[in-house]
Structure 1
Amino acid sequence: MATGPAVPMEWEGFIDLIAGIDRSLQHVIDPADPWLKQEAIQQMAMSLSQGYAPIMAQDSRVPAFFTFLNPVIKSAAPNPDYMYRTCFVEGSGTYRLSGTRGTTLFVHVGIGSGYIGVDDQAGPSVGHIDLDTLSLGEGGRFSVILSAERPAGYDGDWYRLPANARTIGIREASYDWENEIDSRIAIERLDDAGDHRRPSMDEIAHRLERLAGFPERYAQLFVHFVKTLSRHPVNSVVLNTWSDIGGLAEQTYYEGLFELSDGEALILETEVPDRVRYWAVLLADQLFNTIDWEKCQSSLNGFQARLDSDGRFRAVIAAEDPGVPNWLDTAGRFKGVVQGRWYQASAAPTPTLKRVALSDLRDHLPSDTPRIDRAARRESLRARFRGAQFRRKW
């Protein structure tokens, strides 16, 4: 990471810098809402903690994976089925990824050219590796080298590392949270880039300056994104790829604003593609934080969801339990974002959203839709919470 001017950072100076974080409020969709404003201020604190690992604790000479999005850091609507890990690299370096594959649905390795919130400009993905395309040994063991040129005499798995590579990121998808086993992955730098050393005063000062600006750079993209969705009718969705900032290759998103009132529900309805490796839907708040998926059923994936007898997927978005299997819980919110994913799919259907009275809900659902009572819901939520805790978060 580049260094700034040779000026030591004083605590008062750092406080002055982070005082400007409140500029992030300009990106909030409804800053006049006092409850939302409190959540936005809470998000500023969360954002500072989110920026610490990539800005203060990374060294491309001795890279190591860290978690950027998880059940605590929920900004940018992280997918509850994905575990996200990242490290910083240099395109001129030689690196080895090794470990065990695990039994999750897929493990995707992406190479990025600019990192959200850390760099002034986030860059697109410049490389992709599906772990299932590598040579897997006993117990799912693997090893792959990433470098500008294949090492002399090396005939194992190898992937060309682009000159503009900045990060290596992992998305690991799980359908069955309770029973699938996450991968174990380590990264090593093989060429001699020098040993890790105590950061200089200049470097610390520069990194602290970048950390202070992280929340606004991040909010400019993701908190502001919710505002951009207001260009479209509420309770409708549009398709997106996020390819310009590192979205997963071959993944199509649908997303839009939802709104309902007390005593109402939204019915999300869609076809499911004939061929699809992974699909899911989640709810996020008005700051684009995924609603607490460990503690409530704010998301469903292709394993967790129940398809109706006509083969279609219908989910009910509501603030109170509607007594159906595919409840998407808003956790008491009446406004937010709905986002879904189709990955490696033969089609990318655009779901519809219908606003109905909760008292009339059954009139709008197939007659054979099961009824879920309080006891069954509590048991399913306990199982969900167990599975979420089993996932590897670091």
Structure 2
Amino acid sequence: MFCKFPTMQGRKQSISASRSMARTWLAAGLLMCSTTQAIAQANHNTNLEADVDWSDFSEMVRDLPDVLLDSLPERQRNDPDIQDGVKRVALSAVASAAIDALASDPDHPVFIPQVNQFLNVGQPNSDTTYRLARITPGGSYRLRGRKGNVRMAIIAETGLLPGNASQSSDEPGAPQPIHDINALGVDEDGRFDVLLSAERPDGYNGDWWQLQPGTDRLLLRLVSADWEREVDPALSIERLDAPVRRPASMLVDMKTALSNLINVTNFLAPVYLHKVESLREAGYINRLRKMPESTLGLPGQVYYEGAYELDGEEALIIEAKHPARCEYRSIIVTNDVFETSDWFNNQGSLNDAQAAVDRDGILRIVLAGKDPGVPNWLDTAGYRTGSIQGRWANCDTQPIPTVRKVPFADIRKHLPSDTPTVTKEQRETIVRDRRAGSQQRPLW
């Protein structure tokens, strides 16, 4: 759907069109879908030819970082951190798209990694494992496996999105339903078995999810708060109305794979590159706002966001009256190119299993680039600018936290007197434990 890259001018026009569409999506608060008009206009400007070859891909990879960097405000282009960040975003987009291009077969689907700590594009949530399976609209699929006990295990249907060379429609389609693995029945071994199809087969009495017309992808999100104790589901997917055997003649066609690779890369790489700058332009610096609802957001989940700016001797105190009932909450930080801060090796995110509420019912988070010696430290990893994003899931209230900038030396003056002290040795243990817990979750 996006462009072929025959010339430098064509490449810049294609990325510009992708960037323009990304700005439209950001303004609308969407994750991966836009309005029909915006998609159709982008497709008109960036139609991909079917006869792509390896040189088209290699040219795109060669020029992508420079084109992305050129799209940023001039004051950011000479920043070494941003230059490196843009290259990482470009490489993450290529890597994620390459896995998709090689593994995507709607007749023989697999849930493959989409974004994570190492495919860090589009600001993944540190508690969420994201996987994607391509399917054929109208097909019949069986999903089965072990249920696990994570907070949320959700499969969202998505359809007619950018990044499919065989797609015949310019329309993104309406928001599609979600399916809850945790709501499925299980046998005595804790295993589930569910059919996904357009219609329930006659005489079938097992678990069944209705597949909506136009769905060509299934987005799996597994959300865990207690990384060491919660167990992720293990699941498989198979198509029932097509032969299971796949001879060599049915392997992925490389022209189609390269087309999809270019399309998905051009969609992923620029889509959120300007997000932090857009928050600054809107005046949300060291302030938070409710995020507009997304067509791929989860029901019952409310997000808040804002940009942060700190020098080395400042901190932000983030406060909110905690809901009386809340299934899940989290807060993360990103850098200026919207990469989620490294949550494996830093305390770069906090969820309800990791950040306690104070005795007065207030959740207090301290955002700083160095350790303030308090439990609820949110580590910027040394970045002085970036963004904050939080979420409340299935809570009875969804407060937008307040933010105060304070001198680093005065942090404890703004916290309850009984706030515990975390020593350097204790922090080392905490981070090593979270590193182990995050690695022990299945990423691939």
Q: Which TM-score band applies after superposition, normalised by the shorter structure?
A: over 0.9
Q: Deviations over 1:132-158 (max 9, x none)?
A: 222122232111101111011101111
Match of 2:93 among 22, 36, 47: 47
Contact 1:279 1:343 (8 Å CA) reproduced:
yes
Does residue 211 (structure 1) correspond to residue 261 (structure 2)? The answer is yes
Does residue 76 (structure 1) correspond to residue 122 (structure 2)? The answer is yes
Which deviates further from its counterpart, 171-180 or 189-198? Answer: 189-198
Does residue 92 (structure 1) correspond to residue 138 (structure 2)? The answer is yes
Match of 2:152 among 106, 109, 117: 106
Deviation of 1:121 after TM superposition, in Å, equals 7.4
Structure 2 counterpart of 1:53, which letter?
Answer: I
Which deviates further from its counterpart, 300-309 or 15-24? Answer: 15-24
Does residue 308 (structure 1) correspond to residue 308 (structure 2)? The answer is no
Contact 2:103 2:110 (8 Å CA) reproduced:
no
- In the superposition, the TM-score normalised over structure 1's length comes to 0.92
Which deviates further from its counterpart, 320-329 or 85-94? Answer: 85-94
The residue number in structure 1 matching 2:411 is: 361
| Structure 2 residue matching 1:166: 3-state secondary structure | strand
Deviation of 1:16 after TM superposition, in Å, equals 2.4
Structure 2 counterpart of 1:236, which letter?
Answer: R
Q: Provide the C-alpha distance between the structure 2 equivalents of 1:299 and 1:117, rounded to a whole number of angstroms.
A: 30
The residue number in structure 2 matching 1:390 is: 440
Q: Provide the C-alpha distance between the structure 2 equivalents of 1:55 and 1:384, rounded to a whole number of angstroms.
A: 32
Q: Deviations over 1:218-272 (max 9, x none)?
A: 233211222321213301111125523x222221111110110011111111122
Which runs of no fewer than 5 residues in structure 2 stay unpaired? 2-46
Which deviates further from its counterpart, 181-190 or 47-56? Answer: 47-56
| Structure 1 residue matching 2:144: 3-state secondary structure | strand
Change (3 A) 1:102 1:202: closer
Match of 1:63 among 86, 106, 109: 109
The residue number in structure 2 matching 1:262 is: 312
Aligned counterparts, 1:141-180, within 5 A: 141-180=191-230
Which deviates further from its counterpart, 104-113 or 287-296? Answer: 104-113
Contact 1:100 1:140 (8 Å CA) reproduced:
yes
| Structure 1 residue matching 2:199: 3-state secondary structure | coil
Change (3 A) 1:96 1:203: same
| Structure 1 residue matching 2:95: 3-state secondary structure | helix
Aligned counterparts, 1:269-288, within 5 A: 269-288=319-338
| Structure 2 residue matching 1:223: 3-state secondary structure | coil
Structure 1 counterpart of 2:112, which letter?
Answer: F
Contact 2:89 2:269 (8 Å CA) reproduced:
no
Which deviates further from its counterpart, 200-209 or 299-308? Answer: 200-209
Which deviates further from its counterpart, 351-360 or 19-28? Answer: 19-28
Deviation of 1:343 after TM superposition, in Å, equals 0.8
Deviation of 1:310 after TM superposition, in Å, equals 0.6
Q: Deviations over 1:121-177 (max 9, x none)?
A: 766641111122221222321111011110111011111100111111211111111
- CA RMSD, aligned part only? 2.5
Deviation of 1:327 after TM superposition, in Å, equals 0.4
The residue number in structure 1 matching 2:62 is: 19
The residue number in structure 2 matching 1:130 is: 180
| Structure 1 residue matching 2:437: 3-state secondary structure | helix
Change (3 A) 1:228 1:67: same
| Structure 1 residue matching 2:274: 3-state secondary structure | helix
Match of 1:236 among 280, 284, 287: 287
Contact 1:95 1:147 (8 Å CA) reproduced:
yes
| Structure 1 residue matching 2:272: 3-state secondary structure | helix
Q: Deviations over 1:301-320 (max 9, x none)?
A: 11111111111111111110
Match of 2:426 among 352, 361, 376: 376
The residue number in structure 2 matching 1:224 is: 274
Equivalent pairs counted in the alignment come to 392
Q: Deviations over 1:74-109 (max 9, x none)?
A: 221111111111101122100011111112222112
The residue number in structure 2 matching 1:185 is: 235
Structure 1 counterpart of 2:55, which letter?
Answer: E
Structure 2 counterpart of 1:18, which letter?
Answer: V
Contact 1:275 1:345 (8 Å CA) reproduced:
yes
Change (3 A) 1:87 1:363: same
| Structure 2 residue matching 1:315: 3-state secondary structure | strand
Match of 2:298 among 236, 243, 248: 248
Q: Provide the C-alpha distance between the structure 2 equivalents of 1:339 and 1:124, rounded to a whole number of angstroms.
A: 26
* Identical residues among aligned pairs (%): 35
Contact 1:117 1:218 (8 Å CA) reproduced:
no
Deviation of 1:57 after TM superposition, in Å, equals 2.1
- In the superposition, the TM-score normalised over structure 2's length comes to 0.82
Change (3 A) 1:225 1:118: farther
| Structure 2 residue matching 1:188: 3-state secondary structure | strand
Structure 2 counterpart of 1:50, which letter?
Answer: S
